[in-house]
Structure 1
Amino acid sequence: MNATTPSLPPNLVYSHDGDSGFRRKGAGRGFAYYDKKGKLVKDPEIKQRLQALAIPPAYQEVWFCENPQGHLQATGIDERGRKQYRYHPDWTAWRDRQKFDSLLPFAKTLPKIRNAVRAHLDCDSLSKDSVIAAVVRLLDKTALRIGNEVYQQENGTTGLTTLKSRHVETHDGYLQLNFRAKGGERREFELYLPTIASVVEKLDDLPGQRLFQYRHADDETLHPITSTDINEWLKEVSNLDISAKDFRTWRASQLTLSHLLQHEPAKNKAETIKQENSALKATSLELGHRPPVCRKHYVHPMILEAHREGALQDYLSPKRRLNGLSTAENKLLSFLTKIA
Structure 2
Amino acid sequence: MTLDGLIYYPDSKPGYSRRRCGRGFTYLAKDGTIIRDQALRARLAGLAVPPAYADVWYSPHPHAHLLATGRDDKGRKQYLYHPDWQAAQAQAKYESLIDFGRALPRLRRRVVRDLNEDVGERAFALAAAVRLIDRTAVRVGTPSYADENGTFGALTLRPRHVQLEDNQILLDFPGKGGQQITHQVTDAKLAETLEEIGDLPGVELFAWTDTTGAPQRLSSEALNRYLADATDLTDVTAKTFRTWAGTCAAFDVARQGGATIAAMATAAADVLCNTPTIAKESYIHPDVLDLRGKDAPHIDPIELSGLKVTEQLLLGFLEARG
TM-score by length of 2: 0.91
Residue correspondence of structure 1 range 1-340 to structure 2 within 5 A: 8-122=2-116, 125-216=119-210, 218-241=211-234, 242-264=236-258, 275-307=260-292, 310=294, 313=297, 316-318=298-300, 320-340=302-322
Q: Secondary structure at the match of 2:164?
A: strand
Is the Cα contact below 8 Å between 1:123 and 1:198 reproduced in 2?
no
Q: Deviations over 1:216-260 (max 9, x none)?
A: 4x4444323332232111111111121111111100111111122
Q: Secondary structure at the match of 1:76?
A: strand
Identity of matched residues, %: 35
Flag the 1:199–1:52 CA change in 2: closer, same or farther, 3 A.
Answer: same
Q: Deviations over 1:32-60 (max 9, x none)?
A: 33333445434343233212211111122
Q: Which amino acid aligns with 1:74?
A: A
Cα distance, 1:215 vs. partner? Answer: 3.5
Alpha-carbon distance between aligned partners in 1 of 2:286 and 2:154, rounded to the nearest angstrom: 27
Alpha-carbon distance between aligned partners in 1 of 2:251 and 2:136, rounded to the nearest angstrom: 17
Cα distance, 1:28 vs. partner? Answer: 4.1
Flag the 1:22–1:206 CA change in 2: closer, same or farther, 3 A.
Answer: closer
Q: Secondary structure at the match of 1:47?
A: helix
Alpha-carbon distance between aligned partners in 1 of 2:272 and 2:17, rounded to the nearest angstrom: 40
In the comparison of the two structures, how many residue pairs are matched? 321
Is the Cα contact below 8 Å between 2:15 and 2:59 reproduced in 1?
yes
Is the Cα contact below 8 Å between 2:117 and 2:123 reproduced in 1?
no
Q: Which amino acid aligns with 1:230?
A: L
Flag the 1:220–1:57 CA change in 2: closer, same or farther, 3 A.
Answer: closer
Alpha-carbon distance between aligned partners in 2 of 1:122 and 1:233, rounded to the nearest angstrom: 16
Q: Which amino acid aligns with 1:77?
A: R
TM-score by length of 1: 0.86
Listed as ranges, the gaps of 5+ residues in structure 1 are 1-6, 266-274
Alpha-carbon distance between aligned partners in 1 of 2:129 and 2:93, rounded to the nearest angstrom: 23
Q: Deviations over 1:157-215 (max 9, x none)?
A: 11111111111121122111111111111111222222222222222223333211224
Alpha-carbon distance between aligned partners in 2 of 1:109 and 1:128, rounded to the nearest angstrom: 22
Determine the structure 2 residue equivalent to 1:268.
Answer: none
Flag the 1:311–1:86 CA change in 2: closer, same or farther, 3 A.
Answer: farther
Moved more, 161-170 or 75-84: 75-84
Is the Cα contact below 8 Å between 1:123 and 1:199 reproduced in 2?
no
Flag the 1:293–1:8 CA change in 2: closer, same or farther, 3 A.
Answer: farther
Computed over aligned residues only, the root mean square deviation of the Cα atoms, in angstroms, reads 2.3
Is the Cα contact below 8 Å between 2:11 and 2:69 reproduced in 1?
yes
Alpha-carbon distance between aligned partners in 2 of 1:158 and 1:18, rounded to the nearest angstrom: 31
Is the Cα contact below 8 Å between 1:303 and 1:312 reproduced in 2?
no
Q: Deviations over 1:85-137 (max 9, x none)?
A: 21111111111111112111000010111111222223864422223222211
Q: Which amino acid aligns with 2:49?
A: I
Q: Which runs of 4+ in 1 moved over 6 A?
A: none
Alpha-carbon distance between aligned partners in 2 of 1:243 and 1:12, rounded to the nearest angstrom: 25
